[in-house]
């Protein structure tokens, strides 16, 4: 099954020069675009893909290229990076490298992916997700002069593409080859930073370096941070986005969009993801197998109306919770085939909304209301980057921990100013 999924993941990227790009949010997304004043305004924003290919630096011309990418790497006309590089007279495509979710971006989370051959270009497609912590090997890079990275960042630390980038940078350093990042806007903006940094002993593939849960950086800025502060020391070149400001969200850039994974389907889901991903570390479903993953969460035991009323009485900034019933797909990992009580996140002000705080306050309240039924899963410490969350919820000290996290996030934001590539 894994082999078939990986094979099916290839055609969209390699056979379609202009893949269909899904919008980051729809009118049905709780009316958020209208409620939050989103203005699809700046068609002048150009992704790093375009700025790089329009004027390739001399040092990269004629080089043999490996692309670490997927179907989200498109220009403003929806042409794919793979096709553009394969056809470019100044570059020679010799390899493709696939992260989690595959080249197409449609393989489910955690599904391992096999190596393949791209039927259109004939170049090998190496899976970096045959096992976790997959690093490009010397064999993959033996005919490569430069690695070019273009994967859409989503703004949350647990996004595995960021770890794949760091591991590929380390491999490039060891092989003595340059690493190019084709930058893209952070889709949930570059101004809000939230959550604690990973604590020593809790690094993993969903958090390789100590950055906040919502880091507020572009992938090019993350690469710069990893390369300098965290000592990778690769020969790094970042092709900047042209015309983007940190205050802009994806729906304000005018750029086309391809969903980065099967379960991140809207800007609302992206906005909540840095917090609602923590429900993966509980016995509540985070919405996988439903129509709105990461926008809703539930369990058969949940007193949804009661929890919603309690949470809404707290007046958390920018968010309300709606009690619903939620059908779950029969193939889902949690509560398969059931229709269960759940809470849906309704974002009323995305600038004020703090998803990490909101999700953890919700988990805290659910555990208080259902002490016998609520359970942690082993992944909770890995996802939060610490054992402090679990201990604080169990010990009744979560509010103090969240206040401490706010101070840590503010300090990170201040310390990161020197490496920022874009203005407010």
Mean per-residue pLDDT pooled into runs of 10, the chain (424 residues):
29 29 39 38 81 97 96 94 96 91 55 75 85 79 97 92 93 97 98 95 93 97 97 98 97 94 93 98 98 98 98 98 98 97 98 98 98 98 97 98 97 96 94
| CATH architecture of the domain covering 2-252 | 3-Layer(aba) Sandwich (3.40)
The residues of the chain that CATH labels 3.40.50.12170 are 2-252
Distance CA 214, CA 196 (A): 9
Return phi, psi of residue 364, to 5°: -60, -45
Distance CA 424, CA 416 (A): 14
Return phi, psi of residue 311, to 5°: -65, -40
The residues of the chain that CATH labels 3.90.1150.140 are 267-386
Hunting for tokens 């934001």 — which residue is that?
413
Task: Render 45-97 in DSSP notation, one character per residue.
Answer: -B-HHHHHHHS--GGGTTEEEEEEE-TT-B-TT--BHHHHHHT-TTEEEEEEE
| Cβ pair 66, 141 in contact under 8 A | yes
Hunting for tokens 């949470």 — which residue is that?
311
Which token pair is 381? 């410490």
Distance CA 386, CA 203 (A): 9
Distance CA 72, CA 151 (A): 7
| Cβ pair 46, 241 in contact under 8 A | yes
Q: Residues near 242 by Cβ (< 8 Å), separated by ≥ 6?
A: 44, 45, 46, 50, 51
Q: Which of 266, 297, 262, 264 is nearest to 281 (CA)?
A: 297
Which token pair is 296? 């809703």
Distance CA 404, CA 69 (A): 37
DSSP assignment, residue 3?
H
Query: Looking at residue 20, what is its pLDDT?
Result: 35
Distance CA 107, CA 258 (A): 14
Pairing of strands 339-347, 319-327: antiparallel
Q: What share of the chain is helix, strand, coil (3-state, %, to 5)?
A: 30, 15, 50
Q: Please give the CATH number for the structural domain made up of 267-386.
A: 3.90.1150.140
Task: Render 20-33 in DSSP notation, one character per residue.
Answer: ----S--TTTTTHH
Beta bridge partners of 95: 66
Query: Looking at residue 23, what is its pLDDT?
Result: 41
The torsion defined by the Cα of 42, 222, 240 and 89, in degrees rounded to 10, comes to -120
| Cβ pair 359, 278 in contact under 8 A | yes
Neighbours of 193 (CB within 10 A): 21
Which token pair is 301? 């035991």
The answer for 142, left when phi > 0, alpha when psi is -120 to 50, beta otherwise, is alpha
């Amino acid at each position: 099954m894994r082999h078939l999924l990986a094979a099916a993941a290839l055609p969209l990227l390699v056979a379609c020069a202009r893949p269909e790009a899904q919008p980051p949010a729809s009118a049905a997304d709780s009316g958020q675009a209208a409620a939050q004043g989103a203005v699809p305004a700046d068609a002048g924003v150009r992704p790093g893909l375009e700025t790089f290919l329009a004027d390739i630096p001399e040092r990269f011309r004629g080089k043999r290229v490996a692309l670490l990418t997927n179907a989200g790497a498109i220009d403003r006309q929806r042409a794919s990076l793979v096709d553009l590089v394969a056809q470019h007279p100044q570059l020679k495509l010799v390899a493709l490298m696939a992260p989690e979710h595959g080249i197409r971006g449609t393989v489910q989370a955690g599904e391992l992916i096999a190596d393949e051959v791209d039927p259109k270009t004939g170049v090998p497609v190496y899976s970096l997700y045959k096992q976790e912590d997959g690093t490009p090997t010397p064999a993959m890079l033996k005919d490569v002069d430069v690695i070019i990275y273009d994967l859409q960042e989503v703004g949350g630390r647990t996004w595995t593409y960021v770890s794949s980038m760091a591991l590929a940078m380390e491999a490039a350093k060891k092989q003595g080859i340059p690493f190019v990042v084709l930058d893209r806007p952070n889709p949930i903006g570059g101004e809000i930073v939230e959550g604690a940094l990973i604590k020593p002993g809790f690094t993993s593939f969903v958090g390789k370096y100590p950055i906040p849960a919502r880091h507020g950086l572009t992938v090019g800025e993350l690469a710069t941070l990893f390369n300098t502060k965290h000592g990778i020391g690769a020969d790094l070149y970042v092709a900047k986005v042209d015309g983007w400001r940190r205050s802009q969200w994806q729906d304000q850039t005018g750029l086309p969009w391809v969903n980065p994974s099967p379960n991140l389907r809207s800007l609302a889901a992206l906005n909540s993801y840095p917090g609602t991903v923590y429900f993966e570390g509980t016995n509540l479903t985070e919405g996988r197998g439903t129509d709105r993953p990461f926008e809703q969460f539930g369990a058969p035991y949940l007193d949804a109306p009661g929890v919603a009323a309690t949470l809404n009485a707290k007046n958390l900034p920018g968010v309300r919770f709606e009690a619903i019933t939620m059908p779950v797909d029969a193939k889902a990992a949690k509560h398969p085939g059931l229709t269960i009580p759940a809470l849906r996140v309704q974002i009323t002000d995305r600038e004020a909304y703090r998803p990490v705080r909101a999700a953890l306050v919700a988990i805290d309240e659910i555990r208080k209301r259902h002490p016998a039924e609520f359970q942690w899963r082993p992944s909770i410490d890995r996802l939060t980057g610490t054992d402090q969350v679990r201990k604080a919820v169990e010990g009744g000290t979560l509010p103090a921990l969240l206040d401490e996290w706010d101070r840590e996030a503010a300090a990170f934001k201040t310390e990161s100013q020197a490496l920022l590539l874009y203005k407010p």
